Structure 1
Amino acid sequence: MGSQRLDGKRVLVTGASRGIGAAVAHRVAAEGADVAIVARTVNAQDAYLPGTLVDTAERLRVFGGGVVVVQADLADEGDRERVVREAEQGLGGPIDVLVNNAAVALYGTVADYQAKRMRLMYELNCVAPLHLAQQVVPAMAERGEGWIVNVSSGTARHWDGPPFQLGGTGTGTTVYGATKAALNRVNNGLAAELHGTGVRVNTVEPRAAVMSEGARDLVGDIVRPDQIEPMEAMVEAVLALCDCPADHTGNTHISLDLIAELGLTVRNLDGTPS
């Protein structure tokens, strides 16, 4: 069990059927939170990749807190309109912590990238996090306390050049990275607007590849061992932003740098020492 640092907190985690989202949900539950988990995939028969909301919920219930499953396609505005409402109804009160992790990564060369794919990625990776934040902010501001954590990506950064050092994926991550750059900017602006209300808004990205099920499917055959970051490290960085002080807001963090800055010890997903 963890330190129970989130005891009594209601946490909403998106993209929680697998990967970083499922791992974050696991850790916050171990820290005493009641958790609402959101994704499209509820059962195994619906899954393209390993991992479902049912699987995640089973792991969370071990810790004894409340667990609410919300099936939703966050690229759909109608679905987004009901997510926070259903989570709050299930958990018995307003959301204290929102972790926007859900994303879609569709790689492709820029010169012939399909507009339909671009719109989908912006809708899910940037518009959806803001839309959910807009729904939880009023209650957070009224209470004078709340945390919003947006999961971003190093692909948001520009390549220096010429010559350009593109890496194994070439320019394929460009449009995905653009959606994450937009998320970082929205994150900063929202934090600025809310500064002084007690609502903290931060973004965190892994320094290296976190080999989730989705990452393995996309780049598993081209990433070297020295380019991989443990899932537990990324989760530790997210957790740090789930209860950070009021003046810690508006920043885009890199996971391992944040851990070093705060002198954190990376723990297992159940909160025990690694």
Structure 2
Amino acid sequence: MSKTVLITGTSTGFGKLSALTLAQAGHTVIAAMRGTTGKNAAVAQELAALPNIHVVEMDITSDTSVQNAIQQTLAQHGKIDVLVNNAAVTGYGLLEAYSLNQVREMLDVNLFSVLRTYQAVLPSMREKKNGLIINITSGASGFTMPFMIPYFISKFGIETITEGIQEELKAFGIENVSLQPGVYPTEMNNGSKTGVNADREDIIAAYGESSAQAFQALGTALFGKMAAFKMDPQVIADGILKLVNMEKGTRPLRFPLDAIAQGTDQEFIDSRAAIKKRWLAAYGYQPS
């Protein structure tokens, strides 16, 4: 059955691929992006010319823009069956070398934007007692790594939203899934899309060459594996399509798609869920 799917951040990467993939599968795609008459005008026109794709202006850092885009979509299509929170930026550097303004920007784009879209779309989903929200997080969302701490703060936050709100929305028939990709060759990782990076040069210098070498070693390892495993972003778009097409009630809370992890991501998810179950039992709380 065809669904109306709103995807954020469709000008590049996973978002654009997902818009194309779902539209080709027969779903009605609302391709949300900012700058539809400015810097992203060309891609907006490209997508809007395709069957089953409707482009909408959305700046995920603006409460008003998010609300307007959701209301415009509901007015035109009557419903939003699926929301895919895809838009995000990455960022690298020492935690101490991040100014607070840079951390705020990271959280505004990656985390607060998700809260904005939830608050904008949930009233209509609750009214219909139906909906699916897919949040793109990270393969390392259950733990952290050096030189990417603000980024992982934002992704940890989305994991927290997904897991906690699943229980809160159960009575309304709304499902939530955290899709956890690994490292893929998209604009976010190849340098063509600006990230939110550490900006305090004096602190970077104070840490010295050993820190720079450790950062370089981490990047070499991650991107070397990405090449060795031939990571294809289409896997994520296909994964989103699979989740959309799944029968209600069968979708997992977390959906890892990372060949590099070689199954350790699913092992981590399963072990964490088992420990949480025992923890809840110890406290005498049983989710409904």
Per the shorter chain, which TM-score range? 0.7 to 0.9
Quick check: 1:19–1:212 contact (8 Å CA) kept in 2? yes
2:89 to 101, 104, 108: 104
Question: Match for residue 43 of structure 2?
Answer: 52
Deviations 1:175-217 (A, max 9, x none): 10110010010111111101132211111011x3121122211
TM-score, length-scaled by structure 2: 0.72
Q: What pairs up with 1:1-274 in 2 under 5 angstroms?
A: 6-7=1-2, 9-42=3-36, 46=39, 52-58=43-49, 61=50, 64-65=51-52, 67-90=53-76, 92-159=77-144, 171-206=146-181, 208-217=182-191, 222=220, 223-224=223-224, 225-248=227-250, 251-256=253-258
What are the Cα deviations for residues 77-129 of structure 1, in whole angstroms up to 9, with x where unaligned?
22122120122233x21111101101122322101211111112212211211
CA 229–41 in structure 1, closer or farther in 2 if over 3 Å, else same: farther
Runs (4+) of structure 1 exceeding 6 A deviation are none
Distance 1:253 1:51 in 2: 32
| CA–CA distance in structure 2, aligned partners of residues 16 and 204 of structure 1 | 17
Shift of 1:228: 4.6
Give the Cα separation in 2 of the matches to 1:250 and 1:77.
Answer: 30
Q: Give the Cα separation in 1 of the matches to 2:88 and 2:245.
A: 23
Distance across 2 between alignment mates of 1:24 and 1:32: 12
Contact 1:156 1:179 (C-alpha < 8 Å) held by counterparts: no
Aligned-partner Cα distance in 2 for 1:19–1:33: 19
Equivalent position SS for 2:148? helix
**1:131-170 CA-partner distances (Å, limit 9, x unpaired):** 21222222223323211100111243425xxxxxx6xxxx
The 1:138/1:72 distance shift into structure 2, 3 A limit, reads: closer
Contact 1:15 1:102 in 2 (8 A): yes
Matched residue SS, 1:52: helix
1:126/1:148 Cα in 2 relative to 1: closer, same or farther (>3 Å)? same
Deviations 1:241-262 (A, max 9, x none): 22333334672221258xx99x
Q: Distance in 2 between matches of 1:52 and 1:173?
A: 30
Instruction: State the Cα RMSD in Å.
Output: 2.6
Q: Which has the higher helix share?
A: 2
Residues 196 and 240 of structure 1: is their aligned pair in 2 closer, same or farther, counting only changes over 3 Å? farther
TM-score, normalisation: structure 1:
0.76
Q: Percent identity?
A: 24
Residues of 2 paired with 1:51 and 1:226: CA distance?
A: 33
Number of residue pairs matched?
232
Distance 2:192 2:137 in 1: 17
The 1:178/1:248 distance shift into structure 2, 3 A limit, reads farther
Structure 1 unmatched ranges of 5 or more: 1-5, 160-165, 262-274
Aligned to 2:282: none
Does the aligned pair in 2 maintain the 1:29–1:35 contact within 8 Å? yes
